[in-house]
Amino acid sequence: MTRRRILAVVWLALLSTSAQADIYAYTGSDGVIHLTNLPQHKEPYRLVMRTPKMATHIARQNVNSIARSEVQPLVKAAAKQYGLSAALLNAVIRVESGFNPGAVSSKGAMGLMQLMPSTASRFGVQNPFDAAENIRGGAAYLADLMRKFGGDLRLVLAAYNAGSQAVIQAGYHIPPFQETQNYVPKVMDYYQQFADGTPPQETGTRWIKPVIQISSP
């Protein structure tokens, strides 16, 4: 990703708030871009934005790490609220971000469930890097797709990846995009593993939570 595109993603994260923080980026081997204002020396983070000091509406989290087990209460709460399976939410999170709350894709999707800015806004997510907000927004989106596609999970997942219109234009089939063709069975496989109580092993990576949060002025 070019510096210009990285800066565009950063501005999406800082939109609607003033923030005081230098922003660093690191691109993982899987192509996922990680943004933080607390770079870890073990990864090749580089400075992509220096922000001026100013009055802020920023909320800060304690600097700690996050693992799959730590988000389970949030996953279960969102699953219950929207009538979904916790196993499904876990599977989507596993494929979308690998349980990294600071993940940003090359297309600008953010957080655990990789919400695009328009989707986050639609479902009232102000801070896509907050685990609770992101999971709630992703669950709300999945529930909406469940209604739209009559509970057909394959189409729901295809729409989550490629968009509802792509599924409709494909005649209510999985669109002929290689990414989507790979995405649907991958999520379904993880879904079955989580449902069976045999989830994939964690890699041992524990992600640093972003300390920048978006808040309304």
pLDDT tens, position by position, 149-184: 999 999 999 999 999 999 999 999 999 999 999 999
Percent of the chain with pLDDT over 70: 62
- To the question of domain 65-195 being in CATH 1.10.530.10, the answer is yes
Of the two residues 119 and 55, the one the predictor is more confident about is: 119
Of the two residues 120 and 17, the one the predictor is more confident about is: 120
Work out the angle between the directed axes of helices 131-148 and 68-82 (0-180°, nearest 10).
40
Query: What are the tens digits of pLDDT across the range 63-109?
Result: 334 567 889 999 999 999 999 999 999 999 999 999 999 888 888 89
- pLDDT > 70? residue 193: yes
Q: Tell me, what's the pLDDT at 118?
A: 94
Q: Given pLDDT bands bounded at 50, 70 and 90, which one contains residue 199?
A: confident
Q: Tell me, what's the pLDDT at 18?
A: 39
Single out the residue of 142, 196, 13, 164 nearest to residue 23, CA to CA: 13
Q: Tell me, what's the pLDDT at 48?
A: 57
Ordered by start, the domain boundaries in the chain are 3-63, 65-195
- By annotation, the residues acting in catalysis are 96
Return the minimum-mean-pLDDT range out of 25-29, 110-114, 180-184. Answer: 25-29
Q: Tell me, what's the pLDDT at 138?
A: 99
